[in-house]
């Protein structure tokens, strides 16, 4: 009989929490989705759900307008 070795992984084998699912979706929405859209995250075990909104345009600005003319 052949010995079957158990595969070792570098990650923890634990279920993903609802909070982790929501935070992951927030990061995805911030990077890829246009402002004004939302996504619903549902927990398959408890049925709990939460809406995650994409950030507004003012939150996505890559620069801020400062005081001009001050030397």
pLDDT band at 55; cut points 50, 70, 90: confident
Domain positions in the chain: 18-56
What is the torsional sign of CA 8, 6, 24, 45? Answer: negative
71 pLDDT more than 80: no
Taking a C-beta distance cutoff of 8 angstroms, is the pair 29, 52 a contact?
yes
Q: What is the pLDDT of residue 34?
A: 79
Residue 65, both tokens? 């307008």
Which has more pLDDT, 61 or 54?
54
Question: pLDDT (tens digit, 9 = 90+) per residue, 1-53?
Answer: 566 666 666 666 778 899 999 999 998 888 877 788 899 999 988 899 999 99
């Amino acid at each position: 009989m052949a010995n079957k070795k158990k595969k070792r992984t570098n990650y923890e084998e634990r279920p993903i929490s609802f909070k982790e699912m929501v935070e992951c979706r927030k990061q995805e929405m911030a990077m890829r989705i246009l402002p004004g859209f939302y996504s619903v995250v549902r927990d398959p075990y408890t049925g709990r759900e939460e809406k995650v909104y994409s950030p507004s345009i003012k939150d996505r600005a890559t620069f801020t307008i400062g005081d001009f003319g001050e030397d």
